[in-house]
Amino acid sequence: MTPAMTGKRVDRRWLSEAVRRIEADYNRSADTHLIRVDLPRYPGIVLYLKDESSHPTGSLKHRLARSLFLYALCNEWIGPETTVIESSSGSTAVSEAYFAKMLGLRFFAVVPATTAKPKLDAIRFHGGEIHMVDDPRTVYAVSHRLAAETGGHYLDQFTYAERATDWRGNNNIAESIFAQMAEEEHPCPSWIVCGAGTGGTSATIGRFIRYCRHDTKLCVADPVHSVFHRHFEDRSVVALPEGCASRIEGIGRPRVEPSFVPSVIDRMIAVEDADSIGAMRALSDRLGRRVGGSTGTNLWACAQIVEEMAAAGETGSIVTLLCDGGDRYGCTYYDDVWLDDRGVAWTDPAARMTQFLG
């Protein structure tokens, strides 16, 4: 049973040591790089990539996992004997397994059966255990059931992502972006573009922009087969029809998650899966290293905004997220046979993105 369920207090010495270990891990980590990408065809407009793949667990979700663990610890929801459970498409579970191992806790990841094998391998590498489900819509119920059966704690990234991170600062991703942009020719970005899986990142960035009174606008790039962009346009839409699902891991959801805050978003752009994959492949060629599919989704939306700015005679900067590296997708997004079998026509979008990048 979790401490909260039994009413038993967590030993403060253990709790203090657990928080210290997580904070020490943060102190050992440098901030992630901001990569400048010049666009020769669009003079006066500069694109920047916030490279979240350089975190110890290889993705943007490292920030979220750290925040979720600290939130649960400081609420005394986790103690030294607590089993930790999460529902995830892979990357969050990789990062949470890392922190669970750091604290000596058992960890279960409830993941869709379509999750890329390298992500599953990474979860297991950090000591996590895998519980697969055929229907991604059941991850929530299965996670709650496992928590009940083990007497454990369900971290529930989809509920707590937007509140576990301090959106006013404290080295969150938004504060980091603006600090790193300070000496650029356009230090206040015209746009920041990100995806939404839980909605936590967009909530943090959108709130920070308003709190600091920046003129920056926030665009969320969303897979076509996701409910978020539909909900943004019509708040009465809260779930997708049965059988409608995106192939882009880590972003897009079949239901509106509690952490998704549409009111802090200025615009959403829906992106076809083939366009995401094509953009991902083109950017990988440009950078000389592989990036993940959600980065391609972000980049496709950035290209649309850049073209609109250029047509209007505007200059400025756009910042987006390089969410994770592409090594975890070698058997999927970088496998031409895998893509052909699923009818993903990515080559034309890749050619268009190559032209955009110059």
Ranges of residues in the chain whose predicted pLDDT is under 50: none
Q: Which amino acid is at 14?
A: W
Dihedral angle computed from the Cα positions of residues 16, 18, 23 and 25, in that order, rounded to the nearest 10 degrees: 150
The residues, ordered by sequence, that sit 6+ positions from 157 with a Cβ below 8 Å of its Cβ are 64, 68, 86, 87, 88, 92, 198, 200, 259
Distance CA 277, CA 283 (A): 10
Question: What pLDDT score was predicted for residue 239?
Answer: 94
Residue-wise pLDDT for 46-76, tens only, equals 999 999 999 999 999 999 999 999 999 999 9
> 172 phi and psi, to 5 degrees?
-75, 175
Backbone angles phi, psi at 16, to 5 degrees: -60, -40
pTM equals: 0.94
| Percentage of the residues of the chain whose pLDDT score is greater than 70 | 98
Instruction: Calculate ∠ Cα 166-178-163, nearest 5°.
Output: 15
Identify the bridge partners of residue 317 per DSSP, sorted by sequence position.
46
User: Hey, what amino acid is at 227?
Assistant: V
